Amino acid sequence: PVTINRLDYQPTDWLIDHVSLQFELDPTATLVTSELTLSRNPAAGQESNGPGPGLTLQGSDCELRSVSLDGVKLAPEDYQLSATELHIAQLPEHCVLVIVTCINPESNTALEGLYRSSGNFCTQCEAEGFRKITYYLDRPDVLSVFDVTITADVATCPVMLANGNRVSHEVLEGGRHRVQWHDPHPKPSYLFALVAGDLAHIEDHFTTASGRKVLLQIYVEAHNIDRCDFAMSSLKASMRWDEEVYGLEYDLDCFMIVAVDDFNMGAMENKGLNVFNSRFVLADAQSATDTDYMGVEAVIAHEYFHNWTGNRITCRDWFQLSLKEGLTVFRDQSFSSDRHSATVKRIEDVRLLRARQFAEDSGPMAHPIRPDSYIEINNFYTLTVYEKGAEVIRMLHTLLGPVKWRQAMDVYVERHDGTATTCDAFVDAMQTVADVDLTQFRRWYSTAGTPEVRVSEEYDSQNARFHLTLSQSCPDTPGQSDKLPLHIPVVMGLLDQQGNSLSLSNGRALAAAVDSSQTDAQRGVLLDLTEASQTFTFEGVDAAPVVSLLRGFSAPVKLVHDVTDETLAFLMANDPDTFNRWEAGQRLATRLILGVLQEGRINADTLASLGQAWGLILADDSLDMAFKAEALSLPTIDTLEGSLEQVDYQALIAAHAMVSTALAEKHAEALCVLVTETRQAGVALLDPAAMSGRKLANTALALLTWLPESLWGPLAAAQYAAADNMTDRIAALAALCHGDSAARQDCLDDFHAKAIGNRLVMDKWFAVQATSRRSSIVEDVAALLQHADFEAGNPNRLRSLVASFALNNPGGFHAANGQGYRFLADQVIALDSRNPQVAARLVSPLGHWKRLAGPARDLMRQELVRIRDSGPLSPDVFELVSKALQ
């Protein structure tokens, strides 16, 4: 496999001014005729006299039927064909090339290019799937206007969709029909889409701010037609939000979403024709949890927002992926935050970042948000590019403030609309309006690893001064050592011993959020940490203050700040920054759990502090219940792992269990009350208070499962029986799955019976068992692989069992005998030849062997070796396995 390097970027010698595609759809032999109008790229490097540059097009897994140049069919000696390229040595400066290929959608199990899902045709082209349809300049900086003609059987394909606007439809002889689509917006091939099949749809309209009426359609299999309404309202809300917050309007006459059951990831932002994993479209009370609803809303928004940040302005090359992904994740996070509790949304996002992105940043695949090299680009659709990328955008937002941020976004859109550009150009646009110099900030784009910020405090009572010293460092990562300091925005405040916020003599003022009732002092200030070590002095501080640092998690760093248990408990109760109130509780809990690892027992004082703080939270009726739920949730194993050098998982899991049990015991009574009394009857399913109530009740139930089943088993069984929504039903079932009661099997059987005919619900039946803490878990999961409803070829089903186990069941996955690792490696080996992208996603939990302590280290490594030696690997799996073994 070849390594591609960022610095080798060259513009193409050729431009494709127009492409006309004709599809004769057939399940096993689809004919694709592609007519490319080519011209030499004036921006390409000048070559000396002689023949002009040749043309090399990418293509794979498609059978070349013919090539014609300006109407003349080429003989095989006129071009060179390899497994991945078509090369034509000589072409006139302007010419038309017609290429005919034949492809087999039915046998396409990799779900990239044109494939079939539930008998329908659909495509997935990002990043490099278009080359599996026809030979093309399959790269994001080649923008072209597409015309698409689709011909198929009326009976099997009554619906035929492509990007843009439908311009004609005709009925042909022999039961076939034909449609034509025109997309006026030049786009790269990765945004091409085609869908054809027997689909039902709902429709609605949206009138843009400037008064254009847009037709909105959601296409699904007929039996799902009643589950699309929430997706439609999410779409309309997203369209309105982008107009109101960014002044960005939709730009075609119609916007279509298609839900398919077989999809490698979440969804895809193809121009005017988004294709979605059905799990991010379909939702109703009986099948979707509150979390699922929020997921639908967020992903619909994310893909819609790509229309500007991704499609109108795209990436010059795939190293710039975070240009569209980090920015669009930031935009969807802001959207969700505006619609729901901003603090809870921030907590959820930070939890994900810490649990998964920090792990990536400390493993063999650590890379900057703008990577420097790759073997397989699909391996770089990572938490780093997406989630850390969004954190980098968030820091720019913080450094600029909301008003200048919006101005800078206007400059970005104005400058780059209709082009393929770079992360550097994005920061250039920010710099045009920023007060701060962003030169050093740019290092975030090239630095891998999670920086650490160490804090020390010194109070000088004589001069009423407080000195705060912040020192940063960033660990070595593969290929990067001795990193330069980053520009880290640190939002902070000082409190006096009564919990009042102090006015600060140092730092930059923060702009008030629109609806904030906070004073300037409560909001705090912004410190620009730019040196390796820097001391900030605050004058006029009359008594030793309490510091609240990194409010709202203002930078994606690990903070090392040695404070007492009392200080953390004080912050939990008094910090005006609600995020930091939660954070203080997480730190206290982390200390307690890691303390068990060191001392073999629970530190009674720390437990008393945390237990008391929980008591205050439980009793505080003024708190949002969803926030309470977050405050009563301990840091997860994968988050805790991030603060350890070497991890003994079994010991860590035992310590986590010991602390969970102790806290549950302390508050058992109050938790039982929450389970039974927090739920609101008679209100709308998605009423915010009802959702928060369920979140709190189910968090309480999950905590109770650490206690003997006799205490909570009946509660869970009753909840299962009474549930009128999926959130409560699955939470009850998840609790029962940890235990051993008769109710466990009864409820599983009942759930299974009800899931028949609904694939997303059946996925939950698998996932809930895969995350059980039963000691027989590895055998249980292996047995589920043999279940009649298990489908290894369906990515959702596969993930619901295998990825749920490997990522969300640390106790099972890290079983001391290595069975969990072996199980996962077996799945990777079995899947790689069928679907490399999904197989590669399963490799990452095995990548961390170097961080493991004891025999686990070697057991995990052996499984990587076994994958490596299992036969020819896809570039996807090869890259991850070889980097992990380096």
Which residues participate in catalysis according to the annotation? Answer: 303
CB of 125 or CB of 602, closer to ligand B3K = 125
* Residue 344 DSSP symbol: H
User: Burial of 834 by CB count in 10 Å (0-12 exposed, 13-18 middle, 19+ buried)?
Assistant: middle
Q: Smallest distance, Å, CB 306 to ligand B3K?
A: 6
CA 298 to CA 346: how far, in whole Å? 14
CA 442 to CA 484: how far, in whole Å? 11
CA 317 to chain centre: 20
Site string for ligand B3K, 291-310 (x = CB under 6 A): -----------xx--x----
Q: Smallest distance, Å, CB 879 to ligand B3K?
A: 14
Residue whose C-alpha is closest to residue 675's, from 646, 705, 696: 696
Q: Smallest distance, Å, CB 329 to Zn ion?
A: 7
Region 308-327 residues binding Zn ion, contact defined as CB under 5 A: 325
Region 226-265 residues binding ligand B3K, contact defined as CB under 6 A: 265
Q: Smallest distance, Å, CB 132 to ligand B3K?
A: 13
By a kind-dependent CB cut-off of 5 to 8 A, residue 625 interacts, out of Zn ion, ligand B3K, none, with none
CA 44 to chain centre: 36
Pairing between strand 419-421 and 94-103?
A: unpaired
CA 470 to CA 474: how far, in whole Å? 13
- Decide if 555 contacts 447 (C-beta within 8 A): no
Residue whose C-alpha is closest to residue 326's, from 476, 427, 406: 427
Tokens of 165: 């606007």
- Decide if 726 contacts 762 (C-beta within 8 A): no
Q: Smallest distance, Å, CB 105 to ligand B3K?
A: 18
By a kind-dependent CB cut-off of 5 to 8 A, residue 126 interacts, out of ligand B3K, Zn ion, none, with ligand B3K
- Decide if 214 contacts 252 (C-beta within 8 A): yes
Q: Smallest distance, Å, CB 777 to Zn ion?
A: 34
CA 370 to chain centre: 16
By a kind-dependent CB cut-off of 5 to 8 A, residue 640 interacts, out of Zn ion, ligand B3K, none, with none
Site string for ligand B3K, 341-380 (x = CB under 6 A): -------------------------------------x--
CB of 306 or CB of 797, closer to ligand B3K = 306
Tokens of 620: 């505080």
Residue matched to tokens 């949206």? 206
CB of 357 or CB of 678, closer to ligand B3K = 357
Q: Smallest distance, Å, CB 268 to Zn ion?
A: 9
CB of 129 or CB of 635, closer to ligand B3K = 129
CA 148 to CA 179: how far, in whole Å? 8
Looking at the DSSP bridge assignments, the partners of residue 692 are: none
The three-state DSSP-derived secondary structure of 75-101 is: CHHHCEECCCEEEECCCCCEEEEEEEE
Size of the site for Zn ion (CB under 5 A): 2
User: Exactly one of 325, 583, 630, 709 binds ligand B3K (CB under 6 A); which one?
Assistant: 325
Q: Which amino acid is at 554?
A: S
Q: Smallest distance, Å, CB 330 to Zn ion?
A: 11
- Residue 25: other Cβ atoms inside 10 A: 22
Tokens of 870: 């299992």
- Decide if 699 contacts 632 (C-beta within 8 A): yes
Q: Smallest distance, Å, CB 245 to Zn ion?
A: 18
Helix (H) or strand (E) holding 288: none
Please give the span between the terminal C-alpha atoms of the chain, in angstroms, as a whole number.
16
Residue whose C-alpha is closest to residue 426's, from 440, 412, 439: 412
Q: Smallest distance, Å, CB 311 to ligand B3K?
A: 10
CB of 274 or CB of 800, closer to Zn ion = 274
Region 277-296 residues binding Zn ion, contact defined as CB under 5 A: none
CB of 321 or CB of 801, closer to ligand B3K = 321
By a kind-dependent CB cut-off of 5 to 8 A, residue 268 interacts, out of ligand B3K, Zn ion, none, with ligand B3K
Q: Which amino acid is at 461?
A: S
- Decide if 507 contacts 525 (C-beta within 8 A): yes
- Decide if 360 contacts 386 (C-beta within 8 A): no
- DSSP letters, 119-136, are TEEEEE-TTTTGGGTS-B
CB of 128 or CB of 325, closer to Zn ion = 325
CB of 23 or CB of 304, closer to ligand B3K = 304
Q: Smallest distance, Å, CB 553 to ligand B3K?
A: 22
What are the residues whose beta carbons fall under 8 Å from the beta carbon of 178, sequence distance 6 or more? 149, 150, 151, 168, 169, 170, 172
CB of 306 or CB of 354, closer to ligand B3K = 306
Cis amide prior to 127 (ω within 30 degrees): yes
Site string for ligand B3K, 265-284 (x = CB under 6 A): x-xxx---------------
By a kind-dependent CB cut-off of 5 to 8 A, residue 841 interacts, out of ligand B3K, Zn ion, none, with none
Residue matched to tokens 């032999």? 29
Region 658-687 residues binding ligand B3K, contact defined as CB under 6 A: none
Tokens of 363: 């493993």
CA 214 to CA 164: how far, in whole Å? 12
Residue matched to tokens 């380096």? 886
Site string for Zn ion, 324-353 (x = CB under 5 A): -x--x-------------------------
Phi, psi of 460 (to 5 degrees): -110, 95
By a kind-dependent CB cut-off of 5 to 8 A, residue 378 interacts, out of ligand B3K, Zn ion, none, with ligand B3K
Q: Smallest distance, Å, CB 630 to ligand B3K?
A: 26
Residue whose C-alpha is closest to residue 147's, from 98, 183, 197: 183
CB of 374 or CB of 766, closer to Zn ion = 374
By a kind-dependent CB cut-off of 5 to 8 A, residue 715 interacts, out of ligand B3K, Zn ion, none, with none
Region 375-434 residues binding ligand B3K, contact defined as CB under 6 A: 378, 381
Size of the site for ligand B3K (CB under 6 A): 12
CB of 268 or CB of 715, closer to ligand B3K = 268
CB of 690 or CB of 831, closer to ligand B3K = 831
By a kind-dependent CB cut-off of 5 to 8 A, residue 593 interacts, out of ligand B3K, Zn ion, none, with none
User: Exactly one of 19, 32, 127, 594 binds ligand B3K (CB under 6 A); which one?
Assistant: 127
Residues that bind Zn ion (CB under 5 A): 325, 328
Residues that bind ligand B3K (CB under 6 A): 126-127, 265, 267-269, 302-303, 306, 325, 378, 381
